[in-house]
Chains A and B, each alone.
Chain A
Amino acid sequence: MGWSDLILSLSCFALSGFVFYHSRFFPKFTVRGEKLPGPSFFPDLLAFLILIFGFYFFVSGLTSLFKAREELRSSLFKGVSLYKSLSFVIIIGVGFLFYPVLKIFGSVIGITLLGVFLMRFMRVRWFSSLVYSVVLALLIHWIFKVIFKLPLPEGVIFSLLRG
């Protein structure tokens, strides 16, 4: 785990540095001249502990690297494929596009579209993906909008059509 430990340690250093830097701007908590644990107290304490862990992983990472250099280098990129990278982009991308799509097309059509897109990506046949997506969209609409009265977007298109 040499490389991953090293990356983890660098993340710990960066995170601690970030917390220490930002907490400097937090106000001091003083009551009648007495300094009390303020807003920066707990984050600073945690950043300090994370820093210690960072050093631990830095040392353990370096030690592992020296022990089995080649093996670790090859294992770092093991399993990284175009499909895998694409699937990450798609799932996270759907997360970010979810609301804009619903805002334009409304909850039922928006969820159906996203459902078809996701299912096609996950190797479900066209017809099945369409049927399942419509059922899913209606179910979500019924549960969240009809029963729980959640304000799911109506959709710009429908709003325009309704005038």
Chain B
Amino acid sequence: MSYLLSILSLKVLFPLLLSMAFGVFVGAMPGLTATMAVALIIPLTYYMEPLTGLAMVIGVSFTAIFAGDIPATFLRIPGTPASGAAVLDGFEMNKKGKGALALTLDLFCSALGGLIGVLILIFTAPPLAEVALKFTHFEYFWLGVFGLSMAAVLSRGNTIKGLLSALFGLLISTIGIDVTTGYPRFTFGITELMDGVSFIPAMIGLFGISEVLKRLSFRESLDLPSVKINGKLDVLEALKLMYRNKFIIIRSSLIGTFIGALPGAGADIAAWVAYGAEKSLSGNEIGSGSPRGVIAPTSANNAAIGGTWIPALALGIPGDSITAIVLGAMLMYGLKPGPLIFAQSKDLVYQIFAVALLVQIMLLPVGWLGIKAFSRLVSLRAGVVMSAVVLFSMVGSYAIRNSVFDIWLMALFGLLGYVMEKINMPLAPMVLALILGRMIEDNLRIGLIKSGGSIIPFLTRPISLILFSLIVLTLLGPSIWKVVRKLKD
């Protein structure tokens, strides 16, 4: 409590509030990621005290991850990669005229998920970091495949096409320089492809441009408002839904925190895994505009931020790209992240925890204002909004690495997304495979090299075996469940 009181000063609160507003702005802008927001705010904190600087970083990262869900819900364009899973049910709810409810739910779940993540960070940072360290290449491979097995359950209606979509995504992820040998694969001399297919233009194209193309098919709809927002943000209904689905919030937050704690697996993977877990437990209802499909990923992605700080603070290993920047900033402030930080800078660590808790409370008004502002913009005529989406998507794609090639890539992925949806092939597994592709390949190959080509260690190590069993359960679970229910009937 004393730590919480110690941060309640204007020199911490005012920069924190500004950074949160900046987080909403960047997060809601397609093409600008939470990592970019943090990277941009770090230079501003050079001359500040470590607590103020870190408070700004914490504020920006939590709000940017939430704000990414706003365009995801209204326009089907994830503002940040972590909002990829929130697109599915959020946008479906919006189509049913429940966009405001979806975002209110999203806001509360993000704050609550973030709160749970931070509480877990406070109480379990050192022991959880130890578990995360037990993950080797074998476990990481299965973790990646587990994420992909979610692709099967994520696919609405057609599991086979979902798996094929994931395979296409994995194949696209092999484009670029092979990490092990340094050989460029499928690049055909195009320099821009050496780094691989940039994930953000691909995602903007698949979700955003394909949606614009779909909207253009109905010419008359262009004269109507882009998004119909029914009434006010329904706080009471959202709270009721949250109470009814309290276990989903807790489960998803736990999943999010755990995945966030694994080095290299951030909020985006956490959101997909939580969404997939919910889908496998709740069945076909998810994917067609169910509040549960909003609750699970939004609780998980904000909880994952707390998780990413666990290895960062306890071991000095970044949980994701954001904490990688944060670690650099901490070194800049003269702090040494790692086990010793709890002894050497105990007060500062607990003040950081207090800031993270405060951010969850402040997220509610800041996020609410963000939703309000964005909903004004998207209630313009569809023709205006769709044109703006196309232009913003293009500049956003270009912004990632100042590359014209990424704009072309986005346009091609837009076309691909449209065709895929036309033949009932889900987009989500491809997006997930693009995120996980490198991780799966590298860990499979390194694992095989370590084991001399044997797959035995992939199945005999305890954590590997647990993950493998989870994959089998995820893929076969729904069928087994159906048989059991039939036998019961």
Contacts and interface: CB of A to CB of B under 8 A. Distances in A.
Interface of A: 1, 4, 7-8, 12, 15, 19, 22-23, 26-27, 29, 36-39, 41-43, 46-47, 49-50, 53, 56-57, 79, 83-84, 87-88, 91-92, 94-96, 98-99, 111, 114-115, 118-119, 122-124, 128-129, 132-133, 136, 140, 143-144, 148, 150-152
B387 A124 contact: yes
Nearest to B205: A95
A92 B445 contact: no
A88 B213 contact: yes
Given A49-B167, A136-B388, A99 B411 contact: no
18 contacts: A1-B424, A4-B423, A8-B423, A8-B425, A26-B178, A36-B445, A37-B445, A38-B180, A39-B180, A53-B167, A83-B216, A95-B394, A122-B216, A122-B222, A122-B387, A143-B29, A144-B395, A151-B402
B171 A19 contact: yes
A39 B178 contact: yes
A119 B383 CA distance: 6
B181 A12 contact: no
B383 A122 contact: yes
Contacts of B449: 36-37
Nearest to A28: B181
Contact of B212 (A91, A132, A143, A151): A91
B399 A136 contact: no
Nearest to A60: B160
Contact of A42 (B383, B423, B444): B444
Contact of A27 (B164, B183, B390): B183
The interface residues of chain B, by DSSP majority, are classed as helix
B168 A50 contact: yes
Contacts of B388: 115, 132, 136
A4 B422 CA distance: 9
B interface, how many residues as a size bin? 35 or more
A91 B181 contact: no
Given A92-B415, A123-B219, A99 B383 contact: no
Nearest to A53: B164
B391 A136 contact: yes
Interface in B356-370: none
A132 B402 CA distance: 25
Interface string B176-220: 001011010110000000000000000000000100110011010
A146 B388 CA distance: 19
A42 B445 contact: yes
B163 A123 contact: no
A37 B180 CA distance: 10
Given A92-B415, A122-B384, 5 more contacts: A38-B178, A42-B174, A49-B167, A83-B216, A128-B384
Contact of A140 (B36, B209, B392): B392
Contacts of B287: none
